[in-house]
Amino acid sequence: MDHVADRLTERLRRVRALHQRSVRRREGRFLVEGPQGAREAVRHAAPAVREVLLTPGAATRYPEIAGFERVQLVTEEVSAALSADSQGVLAVVDAAAVATDEGALAGARLVAVLARVTDPGNAGAVIRAADAAGADAVVLTAGSVELLNPKVVRSTAGSLFHLPVLTGADAAASVAAVRAAGLQVLAADGRGRWDLHALDGAGAPDLARPTAWLFGTEAQGLSADERALADATVRVPVHGLAESLNLATAATVCLYESARVQRA
């Protein structure tokens, strides 16, 4: 019995170590905290889910997760020690579950490119919004937050398992890749040349065309070099006294406006 207990302790130690980036890279695995993300992992990436650690209470609340074939029951205390944000549900998933192949851009009609986005909550929220708007892929450029950071994963609410997210290329290479796939590139910028809701002047970009949106950081926006990569710069109109939009809000408005026009 002690031998079994020791083996479990060692396994749990290794799960907990996945909070560290270096361990995630070495092991090629990451954590999915919380029922929403774990459910989508089990539903859309089951072969890549190594195991799901569940408290008895969570197993009762989430039968669709408890029915998965590799479940380890753990006490509330152990679950809390493994993650403060799991609500009793913690999945260990192979990095391969997240499609990051450049081939994902072939035939794409709507793509979000995030340039050097460092806030995990923002990155995750944009991935979730892109999924909802029906985007075919998201690109996180080099210099962005690590995609498999637990807070990014949690903020996507499972959307990470719904659409490919490409990482590692800088903004110039990312823009070249989406352009090679036939998409126009629009930079979302607070001081952009065109108003998103008044794209009817001569030379205005046509949102019906396949489009990659380029978004910058919330604090600084896009650099001049990044803006210059785009075919046009477009601003989300700000009607009230707000000085700016947060990144997730701006991305939501742009992506949904593209979806509306492309699907009209």
CB 176 within 8 A of CB 141: no
Q: In the stretch 19-58, what mask flags binding to a copy of itself with x, by CB under 8 A? A: ---------------------x---x--------------
Helices (H) and strands (E) in the chain, counts: 11, 11
Residue 247, interface with a copy of itself (CB under 8 A)? no
The residue type at 58 = A
Residue keyed to tokens 């979000």: 112
Q: Which one of the spans 20-28, 46-54, 82-90, 237-245 is the region binding a copy of itself (CB under 8 A)?
A: 237-245
- Among candidate residues 168, 210, 167, the one with its CA nearest the CA of residue 186: 210
Q: In the stretch 121-160, what mask flags binding to a copy of itself with x, by CB under 8 A? A: ----x--xxxxxxxx---------------------xxx-
Of 4 and 84, which has the nearer Cβ to a copy of itself?
84
Residue 211, interface with a copy of itself (CB under 8 A)? no
Of 53 and 127, which has the nearer Cβ to a copy of itself?
127
β-bridge mates for residue 215, sequence order: 114
How many angstroms separate the CA atoms of 243 and 33, rounded? Answer: 34
CB of 3 to a copy of itself, least distance (A): 42
Residue 162, interface with a copy of itself (CB under 8 A)? yes
Q: Which one of the spans 164-172, 176-184, 220-228, 243-251 is the region binding a copy of itself (CB under 8 A)?
A: 243-251
Among 8, 180, 208, 238, binds a copy of itself (CB under 8 A): 238
Q: Which one of the spans 75-83, 85-93, 98-106, 235-243 is the region binding a copy of itself (CB under 8 A)?
A: 235-243
- Asked whether the CA dihedral 193, 197, 201, 207 is positive or negative, the reply is positive
**DSSP per-residue string spanning 185-225:** EEEE-TT-SEETT-TTSTT---TTS-EEEEE-BTTTB--HH
Q: Which residues contact 161 (CB under 8 A, 6 or more apart)?
A: 37, 40, 41, 43, 44, 45, 97, 98
Q: In the stretch 76-115, what mask flags binding to a copy of itself with x, by CB under 8 A? A: ----------------------------------------
- Among candidate residues 63, 68, 71, the one with its CA nearest the CA of residue 43: 68
Of 18 and 192, which has the nearer Cβ to a copy of itself?
192
50 SS3 class: strand
How many angstroms separate the CA atoms of 17 and 45, rounded? Answer: 22
CB of 83 to a copy of itself, least distance (A): 20
Of 78 and 123, which has the nearer Cβ to a copy of itself?
123
Binding footprint of a copy of itself on the chain (CB under 8 A): 40, 44, 125, 128-135, 157-159, 162-163, 197, 236-243, 245-246, 248-249, 252-253, 256-257, 259-260, 263-264
